[in-house]
Amino acid sequence: MIPDNKKALEQFETIDIKLLDNVTQKIMMKLIKLLKDNLDGEIFIEYS
């Protein structure tokens, strides 16, 4: 769980996405959109 979506979004937006490879760029853009769409909600991300 990301406890504060607004602070997480601020941190993600400081990353220069152009410096990342294509796959990582797509993931970052999706994470940023997810955070923007859910600023006041809770987000659970599961990965393996």
For the stretch 1-42, pLDDT in tens is 566 899 889 999 999 999 999 999 999 999 999 999 999 888
> What pLDDT was estimated at residue 2?
64
Residue 27 lies in a domain: yes
Question: CA 19 → CA 24, 43, 44, distances in Å?
Answer: 10, 26, 27
Number of domains in the chain: 1
> What pLDDT was estimated at residue 48?
78
> What pLDDT was estimated at residue 42?
84
Residue 13 lies in a domain: yes
> What pLDDT was estimated at residue 12?
92
> What pLDDT was estimated at residue 45?
78
Residue 43 lies in a domain: no
